[in-house]
Structure 1
Amino acid sequence: MNDWIAHLGGQRDGADRVVFDTPEPARRAMEANVMTPLAHLGILDVAGEDAERFLQGQTSAQVSLADGDFAPLTCFCTSKGRVLANAQLWRVAPDHYRLLMHQSLVPSLRDHLQKFAAFYKAALTPRDDLALIGLIGREVPAVAEVLLDVVPPAVWHQANRDDLQVLAHPGPRPRLLACLPVERAAATWETLAAQASPVDNAVWRLHDIQAGLAWLEASQQDTYLPQMLNWEALGGISFKKGCYTGQEVVARAHFRGQVKKRLVRGQLDGGLIPEPGSAIEDADEKRLGEVLCAELDAYGEAEVLAVMSTREPSPPLRVAGQKLKPLKLPYPLERLDPERLAGKA
């Protein structure tokens, strides 16, 4: 965790959580503007004259679409098509790209990519000197325009001002992510405090769950095809680009309809947050899948994202002794080309 977080008045709870004394933080985010340090996310930079060509051969995104405006989702896979890391990609400057992912995956992805980067003029740099601040709320676009002096971007796009980038993420309320140098973070936080209350970063994670957006952690890598995370439905896979590591398996699964597990959303009937990997069981106690992530919602009940078999289950479903109620995803389970999102279809 960056040192700047220690000066915000919150408390560290483990490696990737920050807790504030703001009461009912999830409910607060429904009613007002809130902000949170995104301690669970990390940054890996890829820079050099071969950066675009290098990334093009490794990632599911059409890298040329990351043009300083559009900031696509992407993923990195093994040769067998299993996801090593899922990320958001944006361009900071010519020959300089930035990847956002769960902080636990930054070291392993860097080590994996370094094996290939040796053949390119491209450097891989974990950016512990950058701060990430999340903003949630109906008035957040106006807050960003006034206090950050940027025109708020559309979802999966970016806005830039000097060494600040602001990115828009989907969710039940408008969400913006600000990426800036650590030395500017505390002052920016104080500026934003005039219009936003500090809340736990669990609130941002909850809004990811409600958006049907799962960020893999280190313990979950090399396990799932991208489609098992609904990544093609979120615009995270370009089926129009050339080869990249794992592309043949990913394309085959798509065109032959061989995806037997999918990301699903649900709510548990209690306040127990299940651990990642907790089994989803049907009425016959048969395992159908496992929880990827879970957080408490504004009503004190756990909401989850899980990867589960697509076959018709035998209800009721249970997780850690709690009944699982399926919830609708906020997007259709169909292919969404990133070229369309970028306006270049």
Structure 2
Amino acid sequence: MSSIWQEILGTSGARIEKDWVTDFGDAAAELAAAAATTIVVPLSHLGVIQVSGPEAATFLHNQLTSDVKHLNSDAAQHSAWCSAKGRMLASFLLFRIGSDYLLQLSADLLPAIHKRLQMFILRSKVSIIDLSGACALIGLAGPQAEAVLQTAMLPVPATPLSTAVFAAGAVVRLDESRFEILVDRDAALAVWQELSSQARPVGTTVWQWLDIQAGVPLISERTKEEFVPQMANFEQLGAISFHKGCYPGQEIVARTQYLGKVKRHLYHAHAATPMAAGDAIYSPANPQHPCGMIVNAAPAPLDGYDALAIVQENFVAAGDLELSAAGGPHLDLQPVRHPVTTT
């Protein structure tokens, strides 16, 4: 997060710790507002990589799990980059501004992913740039989100995972009531002031809770190389193409799909005590070894903490899972359901 963006948010009352917007003065009230109020959020937990050049689409198509070559200029898609063993190094929201491709990912992974991607350029006519210091990411959600965008003279993409560009950036529609705005640093102040005059500013953890409710996992430093994409429901999010050529880990991802060997699945989780990405999950049936892991977690509006967790299926039915250690706090699980999207 750039110093200019931090200064803008600071003058709006944001409390910032280590580039993280914790809240705007009342974390509990801000979280409670997420369920019924229109909110605006600095997405300080995310970063952006720009991939440009005449061979950008081909380069990304050969690296990522999704079908990049057929990504329309007004569309977004979920995607992932895997190791040779088929384990996710990072997850992305991928979209375009003109001929440039934008990869939105967990900010704590960005330096390593940026460096690693550059290693694969070889002779490709591609440039890869960390855009995080040159732009701001803003989330907007709630019943009046469309009206707020219109009043701010920003475009409103019509359908989920569609995009619309404007002079200083782009708007991505995530679902029926959530949008992300990527805006150039120089225009960030005006856009933030307009949005925050109509929607309640809230801390970044509120957006993380909304992502958890939507069942959209975000791979971070603590969970990289832990999961095959199907464990995180990425095939249901349209993040995997089974009709394209090779990419790192493709053989394992395809074999997992067609042989039906996914033994770990994504669940909504709730606990009375704090949870964090990377926390292990245990079952009394096998207390020596973890049977799952927390992917993302955030405080819940009513009480406790909500999370997305990936858990070995044969331990779920007993309903006796425990957090962090055998004998640890009780964990409640519910399946995550997505409309199946095939690519």
Q: TM-score, normalised by structure 2?
A: 0.91
Deviations 1:75-119 (CA, angstroms, capped at 9, x unpaired): 11111111111101111112x111001011211111111111122
> Is the deviation greater in 203-212 or in 113-122?
113-122
Describe the SS at the equivalent of 1:184: helix
CA distance, structure 2, for counterparts of residue 328 and residue 298 of structure 1: 20
The corresponding residue for 2:118 is 114
CA distance, structure 1, for counterparts of residue 21 and residue 337 of structure 2: 26
Cα 1:187/1:82, change in 2 over 3 Å: same
Matched, 1:125 2:126: no
CA distance, structure 2, for counterparts of residue 221 and residue 288 of structure 1: 17
Q: For structure 2, list consecutive stretches of 5 or more residues without a partner in the other structure.
A: none
Of residues 236, 239, 246 in structure 2, which corresponds to 1:236?
239
The corresponding residue for 2:174 is 169
Matched, 1:315 2:322: no
Matched, 1:92 2:104: no
The corresponding residue for 1:264 is 267
Matched, 1:153 2:153: no
The corresponding residue for 1:190 is 193
Describe the SS at the equivalent of 1:148: coil
Describe the SS at the equivalent of 1:112: helix
Cα 1:282/1:312, change in 2 over 3 Å: closer
CA distance, structure 2, for counterparts of residue 222 and residue 328 of structure 1: 23
CA distance, structure 1, for counterparts of residue 261 and residue 113 of structure 2: 27
Deviations 1:6-29 (CA, angstroms, capped at 9, x unpaired): 332201123444321145112112
Of residues 302, 307, 320 in structure 1, which corresponds to 2:305?
302
The corresponding residue for 1:281 is 282
Q: How many matched pairs? A: 331
Deviations 1:193-219 (CA, angstroms, capped at 9, x unpaired): 221011011000001111111111123
Matched, 1:5 2:14: no
Write the mapping of 1:73-88 to structure 2, written as runs, cut at 5 A: 73-88=78-93
CA shift at 1:285, angstroms?
Answer: 5.8
What one-letter code is carried by the residue in structure 2 that aligns with 1:91? R
CA distance, structure 1, for counterparts of residue 69 and residue 285 of structure 2: 49
Describe the SS at the equivalent of 2:330: strand
CA contact (8 A) 1:140 1:174 kept: yes
Q: TM-score, normalised by structure 1?
A: 0.91
CA contact (8 A) 2:266 2:336 kept: no
What one-letter code is carried by the residue in structure 2 that aligns with 1:296? P
CA contact (8 A) 2:41 2:202 kept: yes
Of residues 36, 55, 58 in structure 1, which corresponds to 2:63?
58
Aligned CA RMSD, in angstroms, stands at 1.7
CA shift at 1:5, angstroms?
Answer: 2.7
Cα 1:229/1:328, change in 2 over 3 Å: closer
Matched, 1:201 2:204: yes
CA contact (8 A) 2:23 2:30 kept: no
> Is the deviation greater in 81-90 or in 305-314?
305-314
CA distance, structure 1, for counterparts of residue 319 and residue 197 of structure 2: 48
What one-letter code is carried by the residue in structure 1 that aligns with 2:144? E
CA distance, structure 1, for counterparts of residue 65 and residue 153 of structure 2: 32
CA contact (8 A) 2:263 2:312 kept: yes
> Is the deviation greater in 315-324 or in 178-187?
315-324
Describe the SS at the equivalent of 2:170: strand
Deviations 1:46-94 (CA, angstroms, capped at 9, x unpaired): 0011111111110111112322211111111111111111101111112
What one-letter code is carried by the residue in structure 2 that aligns with 1:275? A
Matched, 1:329 2:330: no
CA distance, structure 2, for counterparts of residue 248 and residue 60 of structure 1: 11
The corresponding residue for 2:53 is 48
Matched, 1:69 2:74: yes
Deviations 1:22-46 (CA, angstroms, capped at 9, x unpaired): 4511211222111010000000000
CA distance, structure 2, for counterparts of residue 211 and residue 273 of structure 1: 20
CA distance, structure 2, for counterparts of residue 257 and residue 203 of structure 1: 35
Q: For structure 1, list consecutive stretches of 5 or more residues without a partner in the other structure.
A: 339-345
What one-letter code is carried by the residue in structure 2 that aligns with 1:72? Q
Matched, 1:251 2:258: no
> Is the deviation greater in 126-135 or in 141-150?
141-150
Matched, 1:18 2:22: yes
Describe the SS at the equivalent of 1:65: coil
CA shift at 1:136, angstroms?
Answer: 1.1
